Amino acid sequence: MDHQDHVRLLRNGISSPGGVWAELGSGRGAFTFALAELIGPEGTIYSVDKNQAALRDQARSFQKRYKAYQPTIHYVNKDYVQPISLPPLNGLLMTNTLHFYEYKAAILKLIHDYLVPNGRIILVEYNSDLGNTWVPYPISYDSWRSFAEKIGYAGTRLLERVPSSLMGEIYSAISYKIEDTD
């Protein structure tokens, strides 16, 4: 996959520039760059990763890539499976990271609270429920749609699919935070 594939996977889930977003498990920033392109300099990104070296590489790459304008980006060196201090988010991006966790419900309930009412989560994952050494616990789109509903997300829809040499296909999907009624 290249940068244009990353943008294509996210584009239909980001309707307008701006907003406050986080990418959880951002690594060296391949999808963070795509997110920055789509939300533009009006937006703010919290790039969260437990690997400090990856975040440093990402910050250097952002400085080189965005010379004309620098999107507002905050680098957060934390493991997203633990509570993180973030502002209310319009959107949250998880790309090729959730498949490292067998038990996803607690993580997804935790991040649910980071979103504003009707905030969205964009998930990018391998379209399979069968893991391997490198992708131990993937979640197919059909499984994601069913699972998301059970843990407080609604309106799940498929955004895009791209081929993957590792596991056949990668998809992106969007889901929205359901408002608490208590």
Using the 8-state DSSP alphabet, how is residue 178 labeled?
A: P
37 falls within a domain: yes
84 falls within a domain: yes
User: Is a pLDDT exceeding 70 seen at residue 180?
Assistant: no
Label residue 166 by pLDDT band (50, 70, 90): confident
58 falls within a domain: yes
Element of type H or E holding 143: helix 141-150
Q: Identify the pLDDT of residue 116.
A: 95
Place of tokens 């080189």: 64
The answer to whether the CB of 140 falls within 8 A of the CB of 121 is no
Q: What is the CATH number of the domain that holds 128?
A: 3.40.50.150
Domain span at 78: 3-177
Q: Residue 1, Cα to own-chain centre: how many angstroms? A: 16
**Total domain count, the chain:** 1
8 falls within a domain: yes
Q: Identify the pLDDT of residue 103.
A: 86
Q: Identify the pLDDT of residue 181.
A: 47
Tokens of 67: 């010379």
Q: Identify the pLDDT of residue 69.
A: 66
182 falls within a domain: no
54 falls within a domain: yes
Among 151, 55, 38, 138, which Cα is nearest to 91's?
38
53 falls within a domain: yes
pTM here?
0.92
User: Is a pLDDT exceeding 90 seen at residue 64?
Assistant: no
**Per-residue pLDDT reduced to its tens digit, 123-142:** 999 999 988 889 999 999 99
46 falls within a domain: yes
**Per-residue pLDDT reduced to its tens digit, 33-55:** 999 999 998 999 999 999 999 99
